[in-house]
Structure 1
Amino acid sequence: MTTILVTGGTGTLGRVLTERLHADGHDVRVLSRHAQPYAVDLRQGGTVLDMAVAGVDTIVHCASAPGGGDEEAAAHLTAAARRAGVGHVVYISIVGVDRVPFGYYKTKLAVERLIEESGLGWTVLRATQFHDLLVRLFDTLSRPPVMLLPAGLKDQPIEVTEVASRLAELASGGPAGRVEDMGGPEIRTFESLARTYLRATGHPRRLVNVPLWGRTYRAFRDGGHLAPEQAVGKGTFEEYVAVRIEGGRRA
């Protein structure tokens, strides 16, 4: 039986991954800022982090904070992993971190490099955005009576359970380096995704596509965050909102 530590194990991906690893028979430890007995702020490290990694075979690093601190967190985690003799670190990253000059993406790329240069065995998987991120974005954008969308943008959302299954597979094996990206089954315009969301919520909104500017916008518009050659996902956005939104309204 393999002992696997999941950082960010109470988050959107980490929670599903933890369940999958348990089902596969692994001994799973969950590390987050509030999950006992391994409640750790990775940005600060400390003795509890050393306790969490002691005796661990593999770490799956899912913890991330868009507000900042991911590089410090990864530095503390890899240092603790070296001290404990951990053999394998699996990191979940984002498709396009090396092509889109978005601040959060730059940080994810920096963490990739830090793990690659850590001296530990490593695997990096990049995935496109999860369905729930789009839903949370559309929740915000649909609050006014007119829903403003960035013109010309597309997305390729993927089902989080599929990414969790792939991470569980990678965590069960040896270090594999940078593996093939995972993309959702469809590349869709933001407008078509927003219309799917609005139909599911039953909130009519006028949609207006607004052109933006800058290098980051151009990179997104040019599809730097997409993986058309790795459209391996199966679950569609329609299927997700049918369960998440329409199912919730019927409950």
Structure 2
Amino acid sequence: MKLFKLHNIRLILILGIVFFLVGFANHRQNLKPVKSLEVELLDASKIFITEAEVEELLEEVLKSNGDSLVNEKRLASFENVLNANDMIKSSEAYYSLDGILSAKIIQREPIARVMDDGFYYLDADGLAMPLSPNYSSRVPLVSGVGANELKEVYPLLTRIQADDFLKKHIIAIRKKSVNNYVLEVRGRDYLVNFGQISYLDRKLTNYKVFYLKALEYKKLDEYKRIDLQFGNQVVCTTK
């Protein structure tokens, strides 16, 4: 019984020492100054916000804290400031053991450029996003659609964005009247009368099949309008 109690006391002492050492190490770590900043853009093929601009945001938070010491409790404040930026979708801030403050950045992804009393982007989450002075995204231009109507055209835009052919092929979407949309395509003179935003998969598949067949037979330059609004039919009007 005495041996059992002695073993428990020894175990408690060992655990106490371990917790003390861990706490002391954390305290020492928190007294370290931030040596430098590192920023990683997880998709660097499109630079809507630069690494230097992200570093400036981090430096502003460091200044507002009154010191530049490593402090794990402050990481949330860095992420809050970064996530509030119009070009950033999400961020992760962390310290390295040698005192480097790092941030990983996921930028927002535009799927359309909207023309409505000026220009702005619509992003992949269906939210408005300002243009960036650093990069211009090659996405379809949407016109004739008010801000409160974007949710109507959003499903079509997401399908275009998810399809490699359509993403390169469709350059503009214009609302002509209620439930009547027209598409403009790259490198061709004809317009595509899409009709209302419905039966998206059927209409887009029909158009792709038509396009490949007409391309094969070299007929594309003969048309001035392609109509997709009649269910399974693709109706063409020649010049």
**Pairwise same-fold verdict (TM > 0.5):** no
TM range (shorter): under 0.3
Which fold has the larger relative contact order, with Cα–Cα distance below 8 Å and residues 6 or more apart in sequence?
1
The TM-score with structure 1 as length reference comes to 0.25
The TM-score with structure 2 as length reference comes to 0.26
Structure (1/2) with the larger strand percentage: 2
